């Protein structure tokens, strides 16, 4: 389960540019573009699953800044409900011109640096990165001799309908 800001948006934007689809009168078909005909929102998670020969739920969560937290929460629930013994969860994002532009034009970028927990912060810094965790049922982990680094004892999920950015 991988959370991301917007998943395959860059691929979609490249297909739009390739086919000149932003013109109202343009005619096109999905078969004209290898980019568009192969576009699947689960490509990111499917690639990880294939690379590591993983089975089970394959979920891409394009939920903006909180997407990685949602991935961990959903993975935890799958284990708690005995629907999985282990789940690879996390978040990943690549910066794109369009993604950067959205934040820049929204005038929320900091010009002073990154201070996420400072109440007088002046904005945010856009970057790219990723991180993954293996969540595992306790008994399953012990049976395979895994070193246990922590335990999830609860989680909370909420939304801020007032402000999408929350600065």
User: What is the tens place of the pLDDT at every residue in 23-50?
Assistant: 555 555 555 556 555 556 667 788 888 8
pLDDT, tens digit (0-9, with 9 covering 90-100), for 84-112: 999 999 998 877 777 777 778 878 888 88
The rounded distance, in Å, linking the Cα atoms of 167 and 153 is 29
Phi, psi angles (nearest 5°) of residue 54: -100, 145
Nearby residues of 44 by Cβ (< 8 Å), 6 or more positions away: 2, 4, 7, 8, 60, 92
Q: Model-level pTM greater than 0.75?
A: no
């Amino acid at each position: 389960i991988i959370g991301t800001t917007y998943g395959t948006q860059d691929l979609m934007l490249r297909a739009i540019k390739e086919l000149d689809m932003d013109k109202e009168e343009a005619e096109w078909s999905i078969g004209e573009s290898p980019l568009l005909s192969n576009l699947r929102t689960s490509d990111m998670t499917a690639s990880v699953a294939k690379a590591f020969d993983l089975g089970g739920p394959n979920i891409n969560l394009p939920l903006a800044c909180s997407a990685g937290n949602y991935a961990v929460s959903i993975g935890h629930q799958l284990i708690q409900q005995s629907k999985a013994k282990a789940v690879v969860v996390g978040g990943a994002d690549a910066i794109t011109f369009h993604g950067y532009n959205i934040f820049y034009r929204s005038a929320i970028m900091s010009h002073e640096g990154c201070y996420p927990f400072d109440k007088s912060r002046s904005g945010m810094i856009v970057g790219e990165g990723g991180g993954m965790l293996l969540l595992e049922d306790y008994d399953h982990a012990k049976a395979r001799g895994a070193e246990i680094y922590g335990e999830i004892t609860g989680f909370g999920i909420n939304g801020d309908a007032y402000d999408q950015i929350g600065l």
